[in-house]
Chain A
Amino acid sequence: MQDYSGVWILAEQRHGTVQTISYELLTRGRALADTLGVPLAAVILGPTDDAGLDELIRRGADRVIIADAPELAEFLPEPYTRTMAHLVKTHQPEIIIAGATSSGRTLMPLLAITCHAGLTADCTGLDIEDETGNLLQTRPAIGGNIMATIKSPAHRPQMATVRPKSTRPAPADPARTGALIRETIDPELLKSRVKRLGFTPADADAANIQEAEVVVAGGRGLKKGDNFGLINALAALLGGAVGASRDAVDRGWIGYPHQVGLSGKTVSPKLYLCAGVSGSIQHLAGIKTSENIIAVNSNPEAQIFQVANYGIVGDLFEVLPLLIDKIKAKQAATAATV
């Protein structure tokens, strides 16, 4: 176990571009590495732009380990797992953290079995235990009703996936330098029994919900699917994406990619504005890190008001149309003056 040293974050690229989750992981990884006094490496699979690799160093990595075989361009479970298992065996890191994304949540459990390691899912907090140097991993479970702290004292590497948007991306420091290590992977490891035949992009709005600066969401209080028109209109005015509670999704009012919350997406926008959403603990799990939360709900006791920065207790069918009119008027007035 003593042979294992150093912290790894698993960076992600898409079409060669490094994804934001990588920078969030650098925030986490840097803190852990500094506490332990060990180097931080970012591992990235698939061909990646040089600028992106530099950016990983500027944002906190001491080393970047890249396996840039073309077979790794898109996430495929087997080549990714075998490549990572090979790298783990060669370098023996004590900690590996990855994003709790569709690929991270697939790769990490495969890798954990292969490496005989413990793996904690969907963490929102990571820390180092004082005496032992063990990784303390905190995660929501049982529908977000509890937070559990978990460790893997007797196995290395210690592995965790981290909720996207549960922390801010690490800032870039142009003065930072680091090493770039290119790894050649045995073609045998790159074989796959899964083939990628194609890709259908989700409607742009649903795809953007995690990146959007503004998210406007609706829940069961909208009463029927057509009334999402109000949410859409407001989102369009504010240049935002549309979100929904699970209840609204289950009723078929809007597609699952729009679902916000524990079993949907976590968002962290500048503004989260919701109407007709009660604020169940599972819904709150997905919006907690939003900068500003604004809620409209007819029930003064609704839980959503406990997390709102600004709230209106009222009928959304009165509040939203008036709000839309007033924003339009404001925007028209501003446009007229410039």
Chain B
Amino acid sequence: MNIIIPIKQVPETSNVKMDPETGTMIREGLVSIINPLDLFAIELGIVLQEEAGGSTTVLSMGPPKAAEALREAMAMGCTDGILLSDRKFAGSDTWATSYALAQAIRKNGDFDLVICGERATDGDTGQVGPGIAAWLDLPVATYVSRLVENRPGSLVVERLVEDGYETLEVEKPCVLTVVKEAAYPRLPTLRGKQRARKTELPVWGAVDIDADPAALGLKGSPTRVVKINTPKVTRSGDIRTAGDPAELEAAVDDLVAYLEKIDLV
């Protein structure tokens, strides 16, 4: 089974600092990581390949630095990596990003499965996975929370929806996007790291993937970001301190009164 896993390198955003003046992210000192959900895609890919043989190719579009993310995925056990890097890709929205990734997947040759993360933590649209499926005209299952069975011509998966889990059978080749219940990501091993360092990592540009230049980068992107600002959310509430038993008693009594006022007790 040949599996392609598109992964994105993202800034570690759990304690991101914003510049209040400009509304932009302070990138200084920010660590880049593999998009957290992509770790689940990588794990699922490796598990399937371990069972069925074949290859797992991680693919990332980004600056040269994104090679780090690919090497890390290879250290976890992915067999191959491809870096898509070219100035012409800069400023791509999800339409242009999924086009470039789909072209690279085509170019790479036969495959049975593409596994994406459901969404990336920075752009956070969740549109690239289905976008790739549309470009390649493949069936897609999004929000996959579990792989149930790998059948000869199809995959049976569970898909997380608002009120439960759908069980779907998807014909191969296909595209999956995964949520975090899908697998339990392993850590890179020392041997994996050594192997990853030695494996060749091809870098492809626009020409290598036979891309239509008009469909790439900012020029090829239908959407434009026109404004960015930092949101503020505040309410001025009644905040009570329950330092001693008397304060606790009073604060809880007033809380019950509040609930009564809004008709909940």
Binding site for B on A (CB under 8 A): 77-78, 81, 101-103, 105-106, 108-110, 112-114, 116-122, 136, 140-155, 192-202, 207, 210, 214, 238, 256-257, 262-263, 270-271, 284, 288, 291-294, 300, 305-315, 318-319, 322-323, 326-327, 330-331, 334
Residue in A201, A306, A318 whose CB lies within 8 Å of B234: A306
Which A residues are CB-close (under 8 A) to B251?
Answer: 312, 314, 319
The stretch of B47-55, B56-64, B78-86, B119-127 that contacts the partner chain:
B119-127
27 contacts between A and B (CB under 8 A): A77-B130, A105-B127, A113-B135, A114-B134, A118-B221, A119-B94, A119-B127, A121-B124, A121-B127, A146-B228, A149-B227, A150-B226, A152-B223, A193-B139, A193-B171, A195-B168, A195-B169, A207-B163, A238-B259, A238-B265, A256-B179, A309-B235, A310-B238, A310-B258, A314-B242, A319-B251, A322-B252
Q: In the complex the two chains form, what is the Cα distance from A306 to B234 in whole Å? A: 5
Q: In the complex the two chains form, what is the Cα distance from A142 to B141 in whole Å? A: 25
Which B residues are CB-close (under 8 A) to A81?
Answer: 134
- In contact, B168 and A314 (Cβ under 8 angstroms): no
Residue in A108, A136, A310 whose CB lies within 8 Å of B237: A310
- In contact, A306 and B162 (Cβ under 8 angstroms): no
- In contact, B131 and A113 (Cβ under 8 angstroms): yes
Residue in A109, A150, A214, A310 whose CB lies within 8 Å of B131: A109
B110 contacts A by Cβ under 8 Å = no
In the complex, the 4 A-B pairs of residues with the closest C-beta atoms, listed nearest first:
A118-B222, A314-B242, A113-B134, A121-B125
Which A residues are CB-close (under 8 A) to B156?
Answer: 197
- In contact, A110 and B140 (Cβ under 8 angstroms): yes
Tell me if A's interface is mostly helix, strand, loop or mixed. Answer: mixed
Whether A150 touches B224, Cβ cut-off 8 Å, given contacts A306-B233, A308-B235, is yes
Q: In the complex the two chains form, what is the Cα distance from A200 to B159 in whole Å? A: 10
- In contact, B139 and A146 (Cβ under 8 angstroms): no
Residue in A77, A122, A194, A284 whose CB lies within 8 Å of B125: A122
Q: In the complex the two chains form, what is the Cα distance from A212 to B249 in whole Å? A: 29
Which A residues are CB-close (under 8 A) to B181?
Answer: 256
Residue in B16, B18, B256 whose CB lies within 8 Å of A326: B256
Whether A148 touches B225, Cβ cut-off 8 Å, given contacts A194-B168, A312-B255, A313-B241, is yes
Whether A150 touches B16, Cβ cut-off 8 Å, given contacts A119-B94, A199-B167, A330-B265, is no
Residue in A194, A199, A326 whose CB lies within 8 Å of B139: A194
Number of interface residues of B (CB under 8 A): 87
Residue in A146, A315, A322 whose CB lies within 8 Å of B229: A146
Q: In the complex the two chains form, what is the Cα distance from A300 to B140 in whole Å? A: 47
Tell me if B's interface is mostly helix, strand, loop or mixed. Answer: mixed
Closest Cβ neighbor of A138 among chain B residues:
B227
B230 contacts A by Cβ under 8 Å = yes
Q: In the complex the two chains form, what is the Cα distance from A198 to B247 in whole Å? A: 54
- In contact, A77 and B258 (Cβ under 8 angstroms): no
Chain B residues 145 to 179 lying within 8 A of chain A, measured CB to CB, are 156, 158-171, 174, 179
B67 contacts A by Cβ under 8 Å = no
Closest Cβ neighbor of B244 among chain A residues:
A314
Whether A119 touches B171, Cβ cut-off 8 Å, given contacts A106-B142, A152-B223, is no
Binding site for A on B (CB under 8 A): 13-14, 16, 18, 23-25, 93-95, 98-99, 119, 121-131, 133-135, 139-143, 156, 158-171, 174, 179-181, 221-231, 233-235, 237-243, 247-249, 251-256, 258-260, 262, 264-265
Which A residues are CB-close (under 8 A) to B123?
Answer: 141
Q: Whole-angstrom distance from the CB of B92 to the nearest CB of chain A?
A: 12
Residue in A114, A149, A198 whose CB lies within 8 Å of B166: A198
Residue in A116, A305, A307 whose CB lies within 8 Å of B233: A307
Given contacts A81-B134, A193-B171, 10 further A-B contacts (CB under 8 A): A77-B133, A102-B160, A103-B161, A109-B125, A116-B95, A153-B224, A271-B262, A310-B238, A312-B241, A323-B256
Q: In the complex the two chains form, what is the Cα distance from A72 to B161 in whole Å? A: 17
Interface centre among B16, B127, B180 (most CB of A within 10 A): B127
Q: Whole-angstrom distance from the CB of A152 to the nearest CB of chain B?
A: 5
- In contact, A194 and B227 (Cβ under 8 angstroms): no
Which A residues are CB-close (under 8 A) to B23?
Answer: 146
Closest Cβ neighbor of A306 among chain B residues:
B234
Q: In the complex the two chains form, what is the Cα distance from A192 to B161 in whole Å? A: 19
Q: In the complex the two chains form, what is the Cα distance from A55 to B129 in whole Å? A: 34
Interface centre among B123, B139, B141, B255 (most CB of A within 10 A): B255
Which B residues are CB-close (under 8 A) to A149?
Answer: 225-228
Q: In the complex the two chains form, what is the Cα distance from A153 to B225 in whole Å? A: 11
Which A residues are CB-close (under 8 A) to B254?
Answer: 310
Q: In the complex the two chains form, what is the Cα distance from A133 to B47 in whole Å? A: 50
- In contact, B134 and A306 (Cβ under 8 angstroms): no
- In contact, B164 and A199 (Cβ under 8 angstroms): yes
Which A residues are CB-close (under 8 A) to B158?
Answer: 200
Q: Whole-angstrom distance from the CB of B8 to the nearest CB of chain A?
A: 13
